[in-house]
Amino acid sequence: MTPAPAKEPTVPGLDRLIANHQGQDAPMYAKRWRYYRNAVRRAGGQDTPAQAEGLPDRLRRTGDRQREVVIENDIAWRVQTLVDYMFGKPVGVRCLHAEPERAALIQRFLTAVLEVNGGTNLLQDTALLGTVYGHVDLMLRVRGGGPYNLADPVDAVSRFIIEPVEAPRGIPALADDDYRRLCSYVLRVPMPGEARKPSLTERVRGQLLGHAAASSAQRAQYRLQVWTADRVVDLVEDKPGDGYRQISVARNRLGRIPVVHIQNLPQPLSYNGLSEVESLIPLQDELNTRLSDRANRITMQAFKMYLGRGIEQFTERPIAPGQMWHTDNPDASIQEFGGDAQSPSEDAHINDIRDAMDKTSGVSPVAAGVLRGKVGNLSSQNAVRLVLMGLLARIERKRVTYGMGLQRLCELILHAADVYGVLPNTPEERRICIDWPDPIPENQREQLDLARRKIELGVPRQAVLNELGYSELGTEQANNDKE
């Protein structure tokens, strides 16, 4: 990085861009993550789950008595199930170049870069962030510091770093005439060990204005990294409200912003995608409310209570088998009340909420392994697909956006490899196809029979072997056939 003199950055509209992100988008993203994570925080001497913020006031506190709260996180397991079905198995990366030997080299290079960056774990993290926030960005960085071994490009793959950027940390600056084109990209980078304590004036303002002053003081704990097509600018804010100071600038050798944007589900005319969590938040609040109401009802009615009249020391002697009271008061009485009672409408309402969450998310309890008697005989694979039809349809829809994102990521990796001289290639050689495995476990004999029929129909042998998970075997066979 080349040091630059301290001056105001030449990034148009940076302050307005960050203010809009912090004021509008960041709180929305934070709420989605809180509902997915449902982390327990300590407040008022009690541990409170994050989803408790959606409960009505009557359940939070009634007078001096804290009412019983029941939180059942139905969002997390649905999100995890979607991620498991999306990237539970490794995906195949196949180069579409006409020459088998060249295609095998490119495919081996791309596979090595993905594996160094986590492989399936990287894809699962990407899908998790996209599912929760609605979209995720993948940033590619290339570390320098020495000559590359051009004889074997795989030796240089460790210098290619793929970083998933969650929505609260990445701020896109879009073109005015095209919402899909990035003019610049702002990355909020934490500054460890440089957290600044608020001054006395800021603490007083924080008490008077609430969280506004505290959030402005927290902005000093971050530095900004602004990426454009020709340079990378590092900025820092010394004091809140004083603007940003440019501390370094470097040339962007790639000639393009190294960011691949992936929408979780497509949303027309919008940079942001559709989040799986956003539509479930109202239903989750309603479910938690009804479960808490039922818990309070059971607490009051599950145990029998007694009202004693005219009996001395009634409260000091417990109700127990063989316990006797005596009194000379002819008007004395003991009245029994309470006890649990059925509430069919309450149970039906809770079941309706769960069914609504199943339809909204496309994930039913069967997908998570919760089998009930009504699902019938699932010995047939077609029966399983019929039960999971909603989930499989959503998975196929998500594979369109994530598949296109992975193709653009591979194209970006090959472009960087060409620029840095690791693996010189042409744009024609960057055509990549993603081979997705079947999310439903299939019979091995049926799989082999289907593969044989595909080869007889003329499907390329390499593509069939990739579907079966034998990509290396297909590469060796292609080389043997060429020899």
Residues 86 and 402 sit within 8 Å (Cβ to Cβ): yes
Q: Edge-to-edge, what's the strand order for the sheet holding 160-165?
A: 160-165, 135-142, 259-263
Does residue 166 carry a pLDDT above 70? yes
Residues 24 and 174 sit within 8 Å (Cβ to Cβ): no
- ∠ CA 264-270-275, nearest 5°, is 30
What is the average per-residue pLDDT within 402-424?
Answer: 93
- pLDDT for 341: 63
In order, the DSSP letters of 336-374 are EEE-----HHHHHHHHHHHHHHHHHHS--GGGGT---GG
- pLDDT for 392: 87
Region of poorest pLDDT, from 21-30, 39-48, 159-168: 39-48
Residues 280 and 353 sit within 8 Å (Cβ to Cβ): no
Q: Does residue 417 sit in helix, strand or coil?
A: helix
pLDDT in tens, 217-249: 444 467 899 999 999 999 887 665 667 788 889
Q: Which residue has the higher pLDDT, 41 or 184?
A: 184
pLDDT in tens, 100-154: 899 999 999 999 999 999 999 999 999 999 999 999 999 999 987 555 665 656 6
- pLDDT for 472: 52
Residues 100 and 306 sit within 8 Å (Cβ to Cβ): no
d(CA 474, CA 110): 16
Region of poorest pLDDT, from 158-167, 209-218, 377-386, 429-438: 209-218
Residues 226 and 184 sit within 8 Å (Cβ to Cβ): yes
pLDDT in tens, 57-101: 888 765 556 678 888 899 999 999 999 999 988 898 999 998 989
d(CA 133, CA 37): 12
- pLDDT for 461: 81
Residues with Cβ within 8 Å of residue 265, at least 6 apart in sequence: 134, 273, 274, 276, 397, 398, 401
- pLDDT for 228: 92
Region of poorest pLDDT, from 91-105, 268-282, 422-436, 449-463: 449-463
Of 351, 285, 282, 277, residue with least CA distance to 60 = 285
Contacts 24+ apart (CB under 8 A), 326-334: 332/308, 333/308, 333/309, 334/306, 334/307, 334/308, 334/309
Of 3, 138, 17, 71, residue with least CA distance to 291 = 71
User: pLDDT above 70 covers what percent of the chain?
Assistant: 75
pLDDT in tens, 263-274: 999 888 889 999
- pLDDT for 215: 44
Q: Which residue has the higher pLDDT, 402 or 41?
A: 402
Pairing of strands 231-236, 245-251: antiparallel
- pLDDT for 473: 47
Going by the DSSP 8-state scheme, the letter that residue 442 receives in this structure is -
d(CA 450, CA 464): 9
Q: Does residue 146 sit in helix, strand or coil?
A: coil
First to last CA, the chain: 48
Region of poorest pLDDT, from 149-153, 358-362, 473-477: 473-477
d(CA 218, CA 141): 27
Does residue 6 carry a pLDDT above 60? no
Residues 51 and 35 sit within 8 Å (Cβ to Cβ): yes
Contacts 24+ apart (CB under 8 A), 449-454: none
Does residue 482 carry a pLDDT above 70? no
pLDDT in tens, 304-334: 777 788 787 777 777 666 677 778 788 888 7
In order, the DSSP letters of 230-278 are SEEEEEE-SSTTS--EEEEEEE-TTSS--EEEEESS--TT-SS---TTG
- Biggest distance spanned by C-alpha atoms of the chain: 112
- pLDDT for 22: 86
For the chain, give every domain's residue range: 2-279+393-441
Residues with Cβ within 8 Å of residue 337, at least 6 apart in sequence: 304, 305, 306, 307
- pLDDT for 4: 44
d(CA 149, CA 225): 30
- pLDDT for 303: 65
